[in-house]
Amino acid sequence: MSATHADSHAHSLAGPVSFSMPGGARNLAIGLSVLGAVLLGAGAATAGDHGAWRVFADLLIAAFFYTSLAIGGGVILAIMHVTRAGWSTVVRRIPEAVVTWLPMALVTMLVVGGLGMHHLYEWSHPDIVANDHLLRHKSVLLNPTWYYVSTVAIIGLWVAFTFKLRANSIAQDSDGNEGHTGSNMVLSVIFLIFFGFSMTVGSLFWLMSLEPHWFSTMFGVYQFAGAHKAAAAVCTIILAMLLSTGQLPQANANHLHDFGKMIFAFSTFWAYIWVSQFLLIWYANIPEETGYYILRQDGGWMALFGLNVILNWVIPFFVLLPRPNKRNPKVVVPVAIVTLLGLWLDVYLQVMPAASQFAAHHHKLDLHGVVFGPGEIGATLLLGGGFILVVLKMLGKASLVPLKDPYLQESLHHQQ
Amino acid sequence: MSSHADAPAAPDKYLVGYFVEDDEIVAATKASRQAGLPIYDCYTPFPVHGLEAAQGLPRSWMTYACFLLALTGFLSSMFLQSYTQAIETPMWSGWPLNVGGKPFWPLTAFVPVLFELAVLFAGVGTALTLLAFLRLYPGQKPKFTLPGTTDDRFAIVLDTGASGFDENKAREVFGRHGASEISWVAPNR
């Protein structure tokens, strides 16, 4: 019906818009990984006695950070399908590439959990659990079996859902079947409902159980908020790269603007959840809950605790508030990078104080204050190089523009 | 329709081109500007993306009003909460309460109200500012009566009082972009 109208001013899409990873990006990614491995080795060598906990804490930070980015991309993708978004079709291959890190996310989380469990998680020591009333009761869930089952089931299903979304989208390029759009919408609804529960359970095992006596009922939402805004930042950076090199001439500042809005909105959502979690615990002032924040405000952690809010909310909010800034790659890309640093610091602040406290107790180590060194940077760069390689490689596996998507014309003419 | 075709351009008459598609009015507006036709305003049943740019309108200052209103709400909330909970002077004072041993000036506890009042002032204030600026208040009469422009038609109104107005050129530009009707309208008085 409206096809004839759309065709009357159609942009010509002669064929697939191809992309191949620039050699510079490949070399950069490999270089980052090598540098990361060296730094992680240096960190391990200087960690001193019983230093293994430090290496696994570093790896947990990095593994969870990139898992967040990948699943955040999956959520952005699913929301595009559920809302039948018209603006996003021309840039949808970007989140479809970001989710392809998820199989590696499963591998990295299992390696960290499998090899590092006894170094990180107090509840994995039967002798400690036996003498701890609370942990004995929690051991119904907090035990290695459930940790592995949940990790495999949750990330495994994330892979299944997001790869099916990606496969349907790519299949439509060749067969032009509009049914793929409908099935992706249904699939996305189911995925988003599952994601809400699974992110809560997953983050409970991976991060919250680092301090098994502590609990927060909004922990899963908090992880989701951080993941969503950081994934939007990754999509923004990739889109800005494609725009600046002219590889995606069908997209323009209007699409960049929308990703910028997503960073802006979900930074604010993150701040909302951050305040909510903090406020309830601060107000109630119950020792078993406040321990989490006291640990993170003492011994030099306070500066990072404040910096966390500045990087994750203050800078994105005030810089991205004016409209022109969201449309300018020179502004929005640095803010996206700040946002990524913010998520990293956020994950670091959840893992490292808890892990160092447990190590100090368990090994009778003299650990006080901020623990930061080459190892923390190294683990993140090591996996970061892999993340860049996987995502850019998979970005080139299909046309950069979904060729026969029914919303393509709307997306090409998107204006705001 | 074109009974006024030979009428001289009078300041109390405006030439209107009607269109049935939003794309047409954007294209026609662009072309009118390029042809040097003086656009008085465009009237559409819904916001048309790209029309402001086509008209060459400057960026709206409404966002700055919104920001200042949010700031006003934020500061009002800060004053309200600080005054009622923390400020005590010999002249006037609030009513400081000991809530669970918390500080008397607990900024953490202020956050929800700071947020809510900033949003309330920004939301309601921006809407009222817009209505006041557009002079849209009860009893206001519409400037023009343009049939269909609140329903399914889009209209470009040309200011024919401007010097050097070329009616034939206007009709040519409108016609070229698929105008469904070109007619004169007198403003309501």
The full set of domain ranges for chain A reads 18-411
CB pairs under 8 A between A and B: 23
Least confident of A10-19, A40-49, A285-294, B17-26: A10-19
Nearest-10 Cα torsion for A320, A322, A326, A327: -160
Average pLDDT of the segment spanning A68-74: 97
Q: Are B171 and B16 in contact (CB under 8 A)?
A: no
SS (H, E, C) chain B: CCCCCCCCCCCCCEEEEEECCHHHHHHHHHHHHHCCCCEEEEECCCCCCCHHHHHCCCCCCHHHHHHHHHHHHHHHHHHHHHHHHCCECCCCECCCCCCCCCCCCCHHHHHHHHHHHHHHHHHHHHHHHHHHHCCCCCCCCCCCCCCCCCCCCEEEEECCCCCCCCHHHHHHHHHHCCCCEEEEECCCC
Q: For chain B, what is the largest distance between any 2 Cα atoms, rounded to a whole number of angstroms?
A: 84
Average pLDDT of the segment spanning B117-139: 94
Mean predicted lDDT score pLDDT of chain A: 92
CA atoms within 13 A on the CB side of A119: 21
Q: What is the pLDDT of residue A307?
A: 96
* Cβ neighbours of A281 in B, within 8 Å: none
Cβ distance of A323 and B63 shorter than 8 Å: yes
| Assigned token pair, A258 | 């929308």
Q: What is the pLDDT of residue B11?
A: 54
* Cβ neighbours of B50 in A, within 8 Å: 415
Cβ distance of A275 and B67 shorter than 8 Å: no
Residue B12: pLDDT band (50, 70, 90) is: confident
- What digits encode the pLDDT tens for the residues A205-220? 999 999 999 999 999 9
Cβ distance of B111 and A416 shorter than 8 Å: no
d(CA A225, CA A328): 24
First vs last Cα of chain A: how many Å apart? 25
Q: What is the pLDDT of residue B120?
A: 97
pLDDT at residue B1 tops 50:
no
Residue B188: pLDDT band (50, 70, 90) is: confident
Strand partners of residue B182:
B17
Beta strands B154-158 and B39-43 are antiparallel
Q: How far does A323 lie from chain B, in Å, by closest CA?
A: 9
pLDDT at residue B124 tops 70:
yes
Q: Higher-confidence residue: B112 or A368?
A: B112
pLDDT at residue B143 tops 90:
no
Average pLDDT of the segment spanning B64-86: 93
Q: What is the pLDDT of residue B92?
A: 73
Instruction: Kindly state whether A323 is in contact with chain B, defined as any CB-CB distance less than 8 angstroms.
Output: yes
Residue A363: pLDDT band (50, 70, 90) is: confident
Q: If we measure between CA atoms, which residue out of A395, A384, A383 comes closest to residue A107?
A: A383
* Cβ neighbours of A5 in B, within 8 Å: 21
d(CA B76, CA B68): 12
CA atoms within 13 A on the CB side of B143: 11
pTM of the model: 0.90
Q: How far does B73 lie from chain A, in Å, by closest CA?
A: 17
Q: What is the pLDDT of residue B49?
A: 87
In the block, residue with structure tokens 């913010």: A342
Average pLDDT of the segment spanning B99-121: 90
What are the angstrom distances between the C-alpha of B98 and each of A282, A406, B6, B103, B104? Answer: 15, 61, 82, 8, 7
Residue A41: pLDDT band (50, 70, 90) is: very high
Q: Which of A282, A286, A318, A414 should be substituted to probe chain B, the one whose Cβ sees the most B Cβ atoms within 10 Å?
A: A282
Instruction: Kindly state whether A2 is in contact with chain B, defined as any CB-CB distance less than 8 angstroms.
Output: no
CA atoms within 13 A on the CB side of A47: 24
d(CA A196, CA A224): 8
Tell me what percent of the residues of chain A surpass a pLDDT of 70: 97
Polymer length of chain A: 416
Chain B residue with CA closest to A6: the answer is B23
- What digits encode the pLDDT tens for the residues A103-145? 999 999 999 999 999 999 999 999 999 999 999 999 999 999 9
* Cβ neighbours of B67 in A, within 8 Å: 321
Residue A5: pLDDT band (50, 70, 90) is: very low
Q: How far does A283 lie from chain B, in Å, by closest CA?
A: 8
Q: If we measure between CA atoms, which residue out of A278, A273, A277, A267 comes closest to residue A314?
A: A267
Average pLDDT of the segment spanning B167-188: 91
pLDDT at residue B101 tops 90:
no
Least confident of A12-16, A160-164, A207-211, B144-148: A12-16
Chain B residue with CA closest to A273: the answer is B112
Q: How many CB atoms lie within 10 A of CB A57?
A: 27
User: ipTM of the predicted structure?
Assistant: 0.79
Cβ distance of A323 and B100 shorter than 8 Å: no
- What digits encode the pLDDT tens for the residues A296-338? 998 889 999 999 999 999 999 999 999 899 999 999 999 999 9
d(CA A192, CA A100): 17
